[in-house]
């Protein structure tokens, strides 16, 4: 092995070490490899063969966590400065649970076209881009661009990660109450980016029926005030052609998925649902509602989004491993078929689902390897 090959080999090993370059481990010899001769040799090699980029850099383990704070879950329009602590927290979780280097990046609010251009430019320095707390319209614009040409995968924390966690939990919840998802009727409240993502994934998975509700009522082909995305879903859901609002959607439903933060009388609605219903609240439970209360009035399984509580469907259950997996396996897109495969792998990590255990926790190491493998 030549001197150049030896130094490049050492550089590659250093790049693969988690937490390298900190403290006393960064010796004079390490410096020579990483910042001096090794970096020079790597730059020359990549110039000759750009495919060596992932071999001699950490790009395939580095994620940009991007937000303009335009639509943050639980806050609404927060702003690009106030969203930074949330991005730093997300980056820490990705590092701890996924072993990836995540860099928080805030962008000031700008025109949709300019936002898309910024994401495209950032993609050259990272192995993946994670959108967090951005308006649905600009998220969709980025998605449309990357359907045509995707240098790296671009994911949205709620639409891509949380929907997978929810589907995995729903799969196991149906094992608990001995029902079939293919015959169950779902009521999904809230047609923001999260609700639409859930609806699309449930349709792809194949469920009995879905009734979708936005702020103006049940989605139906009879309505003329819907966006093209909602109109598309309306044609493929609500087989009974129900009209009205939340109440009409919930009556007789087997599953209630709520993505809304406004007041919902959950106890009252559970009593109106089918026998042994499943309740999935994507945020934290309202202060006046508890899992025990909902179970008392008939819910067979209750899921919620607060980490540390039972049946937590928070995005971080799957997101760190999902990002690790798509980068390790050089995936450019995360479509609904892949999401379903990952959800099944995540569901299988729970050996024997029970009323209080239908989804692994964020601290479950075994589920992480299953998710990464499911990306292959």
Q: Which of 153, 204, 214, 215 is nearest to 181 (CA)?
A: 204
Is 13 a residue whose pLDDT tops 80? Answer: no
Quick: pLDDT tens for 266-305.
Answer: 999 999 999 999 999 998 888 889 999 999 999 999 999 9
What is d(CA 171, CA 344) in angstroms, rounded to the nearest whole number? 8
Rounded to 10 degrees, the C-alpha dihedral 76/62/110/136 comes to -40
- Residue range 148-162: mean pLDDT, rounded: 84
Give how far Cα 29 sits from Cα of 14, 135, 179, Å.
12, 47, 62
Residue 4: what pLDDT?
76
Task: Decide: helix, strand or coil at residue 150.
Answer: coil
Is 22 a residue whose pLDDT tops 80? Answer: no
Quick: pLDDT tens for 51-92.
Answer: 888 888 889 899 999 999 999 988 889 999 999 999 999 999
- What domains are defined for the chain? 3-56 (no CATH), 60-152 (3.40.50.10380), 157-376 (3.40.50.720)
- Residue range 43-48: mean pLDDT, rounded: 91
- Residue range 318-335: mean pLDDT, rounded: 93
* 106 burial type by CB count under 10 A (0-12 exposed, 13-18 middle, 19+ buried): middle
Q: pLDDT confidence of 97, banded at 50, 70, 90?
A: very high
Quick: pLDDT tens for 108-144.
Answer: 999 988 998 899 888 889 999 999 999 888 888 887 7
Residue 24: what pLDDT?
44
Is 255 a residue whose pLDDT tops 90? Answer: yes
332 Cβ contact list (under 8 Å, min separation 6)? 146, 150, 151, 152, 153
Structure tokens, 188: 């999904």
Structure tokens, 266: 């959950």
Q: What backbone phi and psi angles, to 5 degrees, belong to 346?
A: -65, -40
């Amino acid at each position: 092995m030549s001197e150049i090959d030896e130094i490049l080999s050492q550089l590659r090993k250093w790049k693969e070490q988690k937490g390298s370059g900190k403290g006393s481990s960064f010796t004079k010899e390490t410096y020579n490899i990483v910042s001096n001769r090794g970096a020079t040799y790597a730059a020359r090699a990549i110039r000759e063969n750009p495919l060596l980029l992932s071999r001699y850099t950490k790009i395939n383990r580095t994620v940009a966590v991007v937000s303009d704070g335009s639509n943050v879950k639980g806050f609404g329009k927060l702003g690009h400065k106030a969203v930074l602590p949330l991005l730093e927290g997300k980056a820490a979780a990705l590092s701890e649970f996924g072993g990836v280097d995540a860099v928080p990046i805030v962008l000031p609010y700008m025109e949709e076209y300019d936002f898309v251009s910024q994401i495209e430019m950032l993609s050259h320095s990272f192995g993946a881009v994670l959108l967090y707390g951005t308006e649905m319209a600009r998220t969709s614009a980025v998605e449309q661009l990357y359907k045509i040409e995707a240098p790296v995968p671009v994911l949205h924390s709620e639409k891509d990660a949380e929907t997978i966690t929810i589907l995995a939990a729903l799969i196991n919840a149906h094992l608990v109450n001995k029902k079939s998802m293919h015959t169950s009727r779902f009521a999904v409240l809230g047609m923001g980016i999260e609700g639409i993502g859930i609806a699309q994934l449930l349709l792809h998975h194949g469920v009995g029926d879905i009734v979708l509700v936005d702020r103006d009522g049940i989605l139906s082909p009879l309505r003329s005030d819907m966006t093209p995305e909602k109109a598309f879903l309306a044609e493929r859901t609500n087989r009974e052609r129900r009209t009205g609002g939340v109440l009409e959607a919930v009556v007789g439903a087997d599953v209630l998925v709520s993505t809304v933060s406004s007041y919902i009388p959950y106890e009252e609605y559970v009593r109106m649902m089918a026998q042994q219903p499943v309740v999935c609240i994507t945020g934290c439970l309202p202060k006046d509602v508890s899992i025990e209360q909902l179970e008392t009035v008939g819910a067979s399984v209750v899921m919620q989004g607060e980490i540390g509580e039972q049946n937590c469907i928070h995005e971080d259950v799957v997101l760190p491993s999902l990002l690790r997996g798509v980068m390790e396996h050089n995936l450019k897109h995360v479509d609904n078929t892949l999401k379903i495969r990952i959800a099944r792998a995540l569901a299988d990590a729970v050996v024997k689902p029970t009323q209080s255990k239908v989804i692994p926790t964020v601290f479950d190491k075994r589920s992480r390897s299953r998710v990464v493998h499911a990306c292959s």
